[in-house]
Chains A and B, each alone.
Chain A
């Protein structure tokens, strides 16, 4: 039975359990739900949960553990000498699994039964040829020990699958019966459902946290591989970025970090003042009608895909800046420049800053405004001296969110700033950022285990550390002002 089918059966049982549980609860009080501790539906849910949750948990655990257990059992069957000819245990196991899958097709094609399949021998039959006929291409001839392992793998996995089906269904039925048996008018089914809800909610937040740790973990692992191949001093202290296909590359971090910070800085220089002032206008000055139109209109900017912004940078802004600023000022002749990417990214970030700040400014109590107006302050004095300080923690949060976006942005930089890693102060020079180089290093032609590719992970980790540091700084700032203001 496939996992999908088992899940369906378990859910079907659970629905049945819901109906039965509800009926049983009602019949226990002769149809008068007022004497029950909880509403009848809660008894139904308690049976549903007891049926579905343990069974599905068992199913998931089994599905995770089975391949691991099977692999370690089967790989022990292949002697060291044969493993050596394949290169690694992983490669052996890959072949074992493919042969095991192929065996079914071979048996079907040759009209063999289980006994016949069992009798096949690698040293007598051309297993590689027969497997190739059914579409399973192998890199080398099949060694007897590997074929035995594959047979074992095949039969064991079949047995285990059957055992899993039985175990899961048994668990479901047992849960159903147990929960039905428990039902009585005094049982606190409502509290049970409440507890389950709590676990469910906590579990979901755990998934988010665990995923973050998982991502960081995988980054760290690959970065460690990178630093085994490449000296960390060269990575952290070298000022040149010059990857070579044949090795001997200079993979210095700083030109990329500089590009990232420079582009982000210009983007924030554009987006923070414009966004903040737009937010102040919308929340403090604009009438209802203007606000109803302008706020969604600004937020449309946030809905434009970054690749479209990239096109805008490439086709419009880049050439414009080159022809009207860079060349007349003698600062360069490249249409890809930090300025182009920064400006366009700044425009992209305006709605982030304005929309969040607008909400935050609106949350400042009206009594603050009244107090200030009552003392004879004008609107702009009130905004500057009362509202902005009160809203500051939230505004800092909005700005740092925008900064994180700017640091992580890729598309606009590829199309607006170019791909040359340079340490330069001239904003009309082409530069590049960490994210762009991650893409180009990972999609390059070099083999995966080379420092030229693995450097992408070290760069990713660096980027992660940057945004993490940014968030920590944000938290510190917000907390400092909170203490002062609340």
Chain B
């Protein structure tokens, strides 16, 4: 773990982009998430860490209402995006998901060309007026995702033909093409090799200038490398939340300390 790097980094803003208060999630009878309060800051990378089944992915999926697609899931409590309750009846989950983008654990490019994969979001939301503008969005997104140089000559080749790391960067490009305000990443590097992981991590760091990024990860090194804020979940509870350097060097809760030193997991 590179402690020096953590210490160097500062949180960009202190304004809360998303706030969660008293969030409970039930999967049928199973109480998966208990009373979570958290503020996701703007322009910041927030890492969720914790052992498997601790509720970190569940909470991530609450933030863009992806849990709505799971029939047995029930979400209670209040989550606000820019002060607006996203579980309010007036909020359309479909538009919400355009504002809060998501990248999944396994790369899941659509069975379309690279171009169409990236253009998918802008097209369905009508973000561009002309073909030229769409081309521009696709190019910028691919550039931001550090994929442009590798695919610019084969934009119309199938996205599924790329390597695993390229596919994941394509999925990131696809997510940022809709210009979300928050980008959720659910273990985005778990299916990637170290080189591709390094590329994606570098990318996450660059993305934070434009979006708030929330990343769920099993790798504490990764959390330490990419995030400014870290939240530790355990058995459905948010145990500790604070600056990444603070969490990793001087945790307040004994459970956090046990986890990051490898005694529970």
Contacts and interface: CB of A to CB of B under 8 A. Distances in A.
Contacts of A4: none
Contacts of B103: 374
Nearest to B111: A485
B46 interface: no
A485 B160 contact: yes
Interface in A431-486: 484-486
Contact of B124 (A369, A374, A385): A385
Interface in A126-177: none
A403 interface: no
Given A370-B66, A381-B124, A376 B108 contact: no
Given A390-B111, A486-B111, A367 B160 contact: no
A385 B161 CA distance: 19
Nearest to B96: A376
B191 to A, nearest CB: 11
A385 B98 CA distance: 17
Interface string B61-99: 000101001010000000000000000000000111111
Nearest to B68: A373
Interface stretch (B12-20, B170-178, B214-222, B235-243): B170-178
Contacts of B110: 368, 371-372, 385-386, 389-390
Interface in B156-207: 158, 160-161, 171, 174-175, 178
B66 A484 contact: no
B108 A375 contact: no
A378 interface: yes
A376 B95 contact: yes
Contacts of A370: 66, 69, 102, 104, 108
A485 B158 contact: yes
Nearest to A364: B111
* Main DSSP-derived SS at the B contact region: helix
Contacts of A373: 66, 69, 97
A372 B69 CA distance: 12
B125 interface: yes
B69 A376 contact: no
A228 to B, nearest CB: 53
B171 A371 contact: yes
A308 interface: no
A389 B66 contact: no
A371 B102 CA distance: 8
A432 B104 CA distance: 56
Interface residues of A, number: 22
Contacts of B171: 371
B97 A385 contact: no
A484 B175 CA distance: 22
Contacts of A369: 69
A374 B66 contact: yes
A374 B160 contact: no
B106 A367 contact: yes
Given A365-B108, A367-B108, A374 B64 contact: yes
B42 interface: no
Contacts of B94: 376-378
Interface string B98-135: 11011110101111100000001100110000000000
Nearest to A391: B111
A485 B109 CA distance: 10
A378 B124 CA distance: 9
A375 B95 CA distance: 9
B102 A374 contact: yes
Contacts of A389: 110-112
* Main DSSP-derived SS at the A contact region: helix
Interface string A368-404: 1111111111100100011001100000000000000
Interface string A352-372: 000000000000010111111
A376 B99 CA distance: 8
Contacts of A486: 111, 158, 160-161
B175 A374 contact: yes
A385 to B, nearest CB: 7
B122 to A, nearest CB: 10
Contacts of A390: 110-111
Given A485-B160, A486-B160, A375 B111 contact: no
A375 B178 contact: yes
Contacts of A371: 104, 108-110, 171, 174
Contacts of A365: 108
Given A386-B110, A485-B160, A375 B120 contact: yes
Pick from A367, A369, A375 the residue with the most CB of B within 10 Å. A375
B120 A385 contact: yes
Contacts of B66: 370, 373-374
B174 A375 contact: yes
Contacts of B104: 367, 370-371, 374
A373 B104 CA distance: 12
A367 B111 CA distance: 12
Contacts of B99: 376
Contacts of B95: 376
Given A385-B124, A486-B158, A375 B101 contact: yes
A367 B160 CA distance: 13
Contacts of A368: 108, 110-111
Nearest to A369: B69
Interface string B130-163: 0000000000000000000000000000101100
Interface of A: 287, 365, 367-378, 381, 385-386, 389-390, 484-486
15 contacts: A371-B109, A374-B97, A375-B120, A375-B124, A376-B97, A376-B121, A376-B125, A377-B120, A386-B112, A390-B110, A390-B111, A485-B112, A485-B158, A486-B158, A486-B160
Interface of B: 64, 66, 69, 71, 94-99, 101-104, 106, 108-112, 120-121, 124-125, 158, 160-161, 171, 174-175, 178
Given A374-B104, A376-B95, 14 more contacts: A365-B108, A370-B104, A371-B108, A371-B174, A374-B101, A375-B98, A375-B120, A375-B175, A377-B94, A381-B124, A385-B120, A389-B112, A486-B111, A486-B161
> Which 6 residue pairs spanning A and B have beta carbons closest together?
A376-B98, A374-B102, A485-B111, A367-B108, A376-B97, A371-B108
